[in-house]
């Protein structure tokens, strides 16, 4: 349930004609919490109090801070950073890392493994790498970026495999630019990330100058402005993070300032974000669920089996079947799905490996009660009770009651008289009407010669043989985008769907032509490189080519999506 809250910004002019933007920070001696100002009535009261107030600089605080680089990559941090910065899934990251580890042909040098072992939870680096990194940093960036002594990191994971190093380039001399020609685009992007992260660990800290300015009114209100400048970039030169400079003007304590404007802004609380690959891996690591080698396969398995899917922002959400399976396991197998179960089992297995526990006792302690409970539940639990619900609907074909069932694509209505009656329909009334709509066409079925009919399914309109169920031939209806294929020049760009149901835009001459776009084309071509322009986020039109930086503002809103093309089920 969204909760309303407000913030108030003040824009102040200094005597030197500079501007400072500050947020309302305290009322009296009390610091304002995020949800302190709940409605417009409170805002209006504050603004009325501040009317005709006089303001002065109450305090100026400056301090220099140092920022150290993050440790070199482990499996989990590599998956997190690759997802955050490159948009790679955990599975994709590990596939690319495996390729870099196994080796890439570097011209006359032959096949060379470019990174160390990528399934590791250790953060130590070899002395050889530390020495070579220091030399390269001095040559490429100058002595002020070098460390007098190598920087070493300690493993936080109590079960870290000390025999492994962190993920690093095998040779620091293989700079990303020097080998870019031998890598495909995604291999290069991942290698570049690994090389920069590992090398940056041996660079000097970044030096920042943080400034806080408090502006007080004579009505007992205080506004605060925070600023930050980078004095020395240090490792940020090679591995920049989200540090942003916000330069504040020079002012003195006691100096008077004038208020140019007070800007109240309404906000609403938002629910916790859904998991991405990065945040899910981080959570699994925190709970001790799995090891470096299992994060990616675990996520891939529950996605491939349909328990979870991704939304348009690549965030995970659970499907209907996930709720049923989870509720079943929590109710009947609470010990196994407890967050601590995997971590405890991993610890027990480690103690077996170190000779501290006997494996038969550990495995038997789990298996004997689990098998007894499993045998008991196989008798007690009914599949129908889990996957079927009663409904008020009646089958229009045979008059039997309809029941709500769960299938591959979620919940739907099915006739209870199955298999005598196989009638099904969507739970959504509008979608159900569309599914029942059938229109005759002039097209003949190429398999049996019967007329084809226009039907509507879960993915939109399609042509189906009127001889169904004897003939199950169906054909997709092409939704053309009024654009010729820029690759072959012969086909038309049409909306299509991937195996996972995600819409994309490709040439209708596939497989002869494999041109495809994920973003919707505008029908125009880039004035720079002649590639198709596509609709991007936030009302921007951009070039579809990754090598071209052309962008422009969209005029008005992007047109709505055409009707989705059907996917063969």
Give 86-140 pLDDT, tens digit per residue.
999 999 999 999 999 999 999 888 999 999 999 998 999 999 999 999 999 999 9
Tell me the CA distances in angstroms from 396 to 114, 142, 298, 468, one per residue in order.
Answer: 65, 80, 43, 19
pLDDT at 460: 60
Higher pLDDT: 454 or 520? It is 520
pLDDT at 350: 87
Structure-token match 């290069």, residue found: 188
Higher pLDDT: 526 or 386? It is 526
Residue of 66, 312, 340, 311 lying closest to 208 (CA atoms): 66
Taking each helix axis from N to C terminus, what angle separates 295-304 and 277-287, rounded to the nearest 10 degrees?
A: 120
Averaged over 30-51, what is the pLDDT? 93
**Band of the pLDDT at 279, cuts 50, 70, 90?**
very high
Strands (E), 41-130: 55-67, 104-105, 111-112
pLDDT at 41: 94
Averaged over 355-380, what is the pLDDT? 94
Other C-beta atoms closer than 10 Å to the C-beta of 432 total 16
- pLDDT of 59 above 90: yes
HSE-up (13 A, CA, CB side) for residue 287 = 14
Question: Which range is least confidently modeled, 83-87, 141-145, 238-242, 497-501?
Answer: 497-501
pLDDT at 447: 85
Distance (Å, whole) CA 289 – CA 342: 5
pLDDT at 557: 43
Catalytic residue among 117, 510, 525, 535: 117
- Number of DSSP helices (H) and strands (E) in the chain, helices first: 13, 27
Termini Cα distance of the chain: 38
- pLDDT of 473 above 80: yes
HSE-up (13 A, CA, CB side) for residue 45 = 8
Question: Which range is least confidently modeled, 167-171, 485-489, 525-529, 563-567?
Answer: 563-567
Give Rg (Cα) of the chain.
31
Question: Which range is least confidently modeled, 22-26, 202-206, 312-316, 373-377?
Answer: 312-316
Sign of the dihedral defined by the CA atoms of residues 84, 87, 91, 95, in that order: negative
Tell me the CA distances in angstroms from 232 to 144, 152, 201, 250, one per residue in order.
Answer: 10, 22, 16, 20
pLDDT at 282: 94
**Band of the pLDDT at 471, cuts 50, 70, 90?**
confident
- pLDDT of 478 above 80: no
Q: Considering the chain, what is the average pLDDT of its residues?
A: 87
Other C-beta atoms closer than 10 Å to the C-beta of 89 total 20
Averaged over 38-47, what is the pLDDT? 94
pLDDT at 540: 80
Distance (Å, whole) CA 473 – CA 492: 24
Question: Which range is least confidently modeled, 33-37, 142-146, 469-473, 536-540?
Answer: 536-540
Question: What is the pTM (predicted TM-score) of this model?
Answer: 0.70
Averaged over 367-374, what is the pLDDT? 94
Averaged over 174-180, what is the pLDDT? 95
Averaged over 527-534, what is the pLDDT? 85
Cβ-proximal residues to 414 (8 Å cutoff; 6+ apart), any chain: 402, 403, 404, 405, 423, 424
117 is catalytic: yes
């Amino acid at each position: 349930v969204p909760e309303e809250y407000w913030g108030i910004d003040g824009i102040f002019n200094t005597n030197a004609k500079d501007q400072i933007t500050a947020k309302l920070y305290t009322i009296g001696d009390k610091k304002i919490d995020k949800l302190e100002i709940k409605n417009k009535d409170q805002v209006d009261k504050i603004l009325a109090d501040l009317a005709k107030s006089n303001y002065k600089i109450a305090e100026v605080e400056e301090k220099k801070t140092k920022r150290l680089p993050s440790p070199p990559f482990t499996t989990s941090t590599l998956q997190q950073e690759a997802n955050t910065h490159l948009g790679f899934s955990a599975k994709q990251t590990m596939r690319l890392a495996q390729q870099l580890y196994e080796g890439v042909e570097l011209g006359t040098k032959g096949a060379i493994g470019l990174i160390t072992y990528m399934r590791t939870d250790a953060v130590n680096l070899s002395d050889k790498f530390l020495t070579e990194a220091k030399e390269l940093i001095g040559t490429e960036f100058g002595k002020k970026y070098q460390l007098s002594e190598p920087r070493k990191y300690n493993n936080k994971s109590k079960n870290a495999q000390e025999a492994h190093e962190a993920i690093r380039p095998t040779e620091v001399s293989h700079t990303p630019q020097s080998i870019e020609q031998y890598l495909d685009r995604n291999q290069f992007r991942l290698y570049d990330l690994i090389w920069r992260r590992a090398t940056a660990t041996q660079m000097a800290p970044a030096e920042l100058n943080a400034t806080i300015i408090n502006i007080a009114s004579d009505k007992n209100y205080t506004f605060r402005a925070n600023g930050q400048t980078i004095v020395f970039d240090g490792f940020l030169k090679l591995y920049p993070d989200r540090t942003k400079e916000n330069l504040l003007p020079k002012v003195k304590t006691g100096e008077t300032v004038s208020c140019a404007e007070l800007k109240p802004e309404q906000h609403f609380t938002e629910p916790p974000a859904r998991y991405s690959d990065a945040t899910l891996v981080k959570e699994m690591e925190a709970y001790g669920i799995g090891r470096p080698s299992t994060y990616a396969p675990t996520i891939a398995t529950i996605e491939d089996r349909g328990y979870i899917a991704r939304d348009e922002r690549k965030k995970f959400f659970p499907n209907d079947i996930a709720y049923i399976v989870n509720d079943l396991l929590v109710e009947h197998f609470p010990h196994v799905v407890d967050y601590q179960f995997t971590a405890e089992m991993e610890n027990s297995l480690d103690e077996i490996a170190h000779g501290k526990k006997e494996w038969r006792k550990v495995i038997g302690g789990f298996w004997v009660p689990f098998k007894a409970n499993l045998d008991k539940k196989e008798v007690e639990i009914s599949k129908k009770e889990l996957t079927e619900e009663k409904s008020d609907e009646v089958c229009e074909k045979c008059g039997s009651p309809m029941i709500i069932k769960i299938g591959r694509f979620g919940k739907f209505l099915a006739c209870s008289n199955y298999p005598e009656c196989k009638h099904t329909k969507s739970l959504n009334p509008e979608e159900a009407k569309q599914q029942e709509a059938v229109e005759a066409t002039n097209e003949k079925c190429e398999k049996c010669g019967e007329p084809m009919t226009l039907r509507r399914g879960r993915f939109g309109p399609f042509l189906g043989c009127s001889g169904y169920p004897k003939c199950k031939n169906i054909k997709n209806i092409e939704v053309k985008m009024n654009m010729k294929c820029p690759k072959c020049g012969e086909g038309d760009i049409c909306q299509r769907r991937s195996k996972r149901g995600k819409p994309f835009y490709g040439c209708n001459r596939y497989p002869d032509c494999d041109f495809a776009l994920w973003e919707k084309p505008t029908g125009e071509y880039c004035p720079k490189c002649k590639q198709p322009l596509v609709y991007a986020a936030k009302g921007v039109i951009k070039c579809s080519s990754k090598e071209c930086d052309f962008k422009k503002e969209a005029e008005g809103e992007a047109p709505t999506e055409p009707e989705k093309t059907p996917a063969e089920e």
